[in-house]
Amino acid sequence: MSRQKSPAKPSLPKSASRSAAAKFPKVVREFWENLTWSDLTDRFGTKTAQRGRDYADSHQVETLWATEDGKNLLGIVQGTEEYQTVVSIEKGRRKNQFILVSACSCPVGADCKHGVAVIGTFLDILAHDKPILGCTELKDGVWEITSPTGKKSALKIDIEDDVDEDDDGYWSDDWEEEDDDFPPRKRIRRTTKVATAERNFKPEALRKKLNAQQPEELVDLIMQLAEDHPTVRKQFEQELFVESVSKKGKSDQLVREAVEMIDQGLEIGNFGYYGGHYGGGPSADLDSVTELVKQCKKTVAPLPVLDKIVRHLLKKGGRFLEATGAEDDYEFREVFDTVAKVLLASKSDPVKIILWSYEMDALDQFAMIDDMEKTLQEHSWSSKVWSDVADKLIAEMDKKSSEPRNRRQLKRIVSALDKGKRREEATDLLRKEAPKRGEQEMLADRLIEVGCLDEAEKIAVEQLRKRLPSISKNDFHDRDWMRRLKTVAEKRKDRPTLASIQAAEFFRDPERETILPLLKTAKMLNTEPIIRRGIDTFLLNGELPAAVTITLAGKKSSPTAKKDWPIPVFFFQPKPDTAGSRYDVLCEWAITENRHGDVVRWFDALKNKPSQKRRVDVFEVAEAVISSHPGRAFEIYRKAAEEEMDTTSTSHYPMAISHLRKAKLALEKAKRGREWAKIIKDIRTKHRRKSSLMKLLDELEAGPIVKQKRR
């Protein structure tokens, strides 16, 4: 598709307010006015920022709206096609800190050049005090917008979490492969039709025209389509074939046709390769099989026919995937998805359909029918259907009671009973069958779900006591049982027991993530200061509280020991790491609680513990102390910038600029701003031959975009 000419710069209504920006909250207005191209490069990537800047300069943003608080921008951007783009500023972790995010209807979906173009255009409006069109997000992606004529209307956009490859207009040449470092947060499904053919196509007018034609004229038209388009001709051929064999009751011919197509489409050495951004690799050719399966809906009894087709495809497909090493099974899933749709549209017995899907799952070694099975299971079958399915599964289980049943089979029975409105029976079945089959986890989870906490606790305690002789710090099985006991304690509001389990988790795995829940519970028990001292001591020298040590030795804890650790000692206590200080955890803990002096103290202590220092995010440290200890933050950012600039790879330079920008801010907070000119001069002298870096430094020194545009 050829790129359209850049549209003329949009005119805005005289009714738009020139003082709209003045009404923004002060921190929001200052955020926009202080934004630099270096900031946008850091946020969106070098190429995306530059392309977006070009779009803004060439007036590719046709219309732009801003909310009254200035926190959301909505723009219509002319790219390869016309895209809707939303840019928002969200709160960061620090006070008055904002983070830019964008969502777009283009293939990239988020943080793309169209978002940068909207930002650049908006900043131009601010710089020259131009009118700003207003918008308001109403609900569920509906925005009230002001048109260029001043009229208000509603615009509906759909926010999506994932790209739907089947949506018309999603995949285009406007793909930015180089700038996929930032994962999409939101995606917008484009609701406006932009292609000329789409705009002019009027289905109702065409339908009216066809209805007015004579039957023989329609036949001639369809015949001409079949002659001109092989796909149409193939579809008619398959329809005629299926109708023919169905009338004669010769479904075997239909199966043989499908088998031949499968064999041909999966012939080893005759496969194709994906191109473009799919990465390459062998692919099956099953389009004709998919089309044939669609026609099976015209047969009297599609399930027997589809059963034979699916069995053959699973057998041959498994061999194909194994022999070729193909990683993509899209063609297979498309066939199975069509099978599900045909069955759901048929008059086949629902119970037989569900049981058949379970049987096919047992034959599937490559998870090819997962989507098909999910579609069939999640269909809105009646409770009577699911009750009958449960009875069939239970009867089958009783026939083969000597054979062990895996988790999936037992889970299916329980799920069918639940959907059949027989929940109590499902729970009783689990009580009976789970212990026999080693599925205590499933039973315990069920008991917690239905409120049988005593039973669930008993099972969990038994399982953990079995593990006592072989305690392992990294045994996730044990962690799951501890999690269940925590859930029981939480449901009972038994805070002492909850605190004891949380303490055991902390001593087993001393991390910031295990400290915070324990302190929260201790606060509710009015024991936070004492527990805090115990945690601090353990992190400093690896010593467990005396009460814990005595209890684990099988002795009765003394009143003095209990006073220093006033919560129960959990009976299941995996041994902690080798005794020693954990300055890394102390540092991260201090960051979380904004104890800036302690952050610096423990970060300095890490100099002699390189293995622990690697666990601490130095930039998190710098961000935490930039206000209280700006000199220390400056040292961290400058060192990081130098490391990035010392490389020969240009891809490192944007990150270096990001660090330098923060270093400059830290220097200003330290009231050492005069040093900045010399620092930049030294950098330019040292790296003068690196033209890409010099250009980025120019942008860094240019200052806020709004101020640049006002000059």
Is the model's pLDDT at 235 over the cut of 70?
no
Element holding 654 (H helix, E strand): helix 653-669
Q: Would you state the pLDDT for residue 184? A: 41
pLDDT in tens, 652-662: 998 899 899 99
Q: Please tell me which residue, 380 or 240, carries the higher pLDDT value.
A: 380
Element holding 460 (H helix, E strand): helix 453-467
Bridge partners (DSSP) listed for residue 78: 82
Is the model's pLDDT at 264 over the cut of 90?
no
Element holding 468 (H helix, E strand): none
d(CA 16, CA 150): 8
Between the alpha carbon of residue 180 and those of residues 41, 55, 84, 166, 523, the distances in Å are: 14, 19, 19, 21, 44
Q: Would you state the pLDDT for residue 13? A: 45
Weakest mean pLDDT among 197-206, 332-341, 440-449: 197-206
139: Cβ contacts below 8 Å, ≥ 6 apart? none
Task: Return the amino acid letter for 650.
Answer: T
Place of tokens 């900045």: 676
DSSP conformational letter for 589:
H
Task: Return the amino acid letter for 431.
Answer: R
Report for 57-71, 160-174, 190-204, 253-267: range of highest mean pLDDT: 57-71
pLDDT in tens, 639-684: 999 999 999 888 899 889 989 999 999 999 999 999 999 999 999 9
Weakest mean pLDDT among 201-210, 336-345, 624-633: 201-210
Biggest CA–CA distance in the chain, Å, is 102
Task: Return the amino acid letter for 236.
Answer: F
The mean pLDDT of 590-607, rounded to a whole number, is 96
Q: Would you state the pLDDT for residue 7? A: 46
CB atoms within 10 A of CB 271: 18
Provide the pLDDT confidence category of residue 234 given band limits of 50, 70 and 90. Answer: low
Mapping DSSP onto H, E and C, the string for 418-437 reads HHCCCHHHHHHHHHHHCCCC
Bridge partners (DSSP) listed for residue 102: 87
Is the model's pLDDT at 389 over the cut of 60?
yes
Provide the pLDDT confidence category of residue 455 given band limits of 50, 70 and 90. Answer: very high
Is the model's pLDDT at 403 over the cut of 80?
no
For 499, the token pair is 């605190």
Q: Please tell me which residue, 133 or 191, carries the higher pLDDT value.
A: 133
CA atoms within 13 A on the CB side of 118: 30
d(CA 690, CA 648): 8
Report for 323-332, 464-473, 607-616: range of highest mean pLDDT: 607-616
Between the alpha carbon of residue 448 and those of residues 426, 440, 497, 498, the distances in Å are: 14, 12, 16, 16
d(CA 640, CA 650): 15
pLDDT in tens, 269-325: 544 443 333 344 556 788 888 888 887 877 778 999 899 999 999 999 988 888 887
Is the model's pLDDT at 225 over the cut of 80?
no
The mean pLDDT of 52-67, rounded to a whole number, is 92
pLDDT in tens, 486-524: 999 999 999 999 999 999 999 988 999 999 999 999 999
d(CA 468, CA 554): 13
The mean pLDDT of 240-254, rounded to a whole number, is 63
Weakest mean pLDDT among 92-96, 391-395, 555-559, 616-620: 92-96
Weakest mean pLDDT among 117-121, 176-180, 203-207, 329-333: 176-180
How are beta strands 187-189 and 61-66 bridged, if at all?
A: unpaired
pLDDT in tens, 536-586: 999 999 889 999 888 888 888 888 888 999 999 998 876 666 568 999 999
pLDDT in tens, 152-183: 888 877 555 444 433 333 333 334 444 433 33
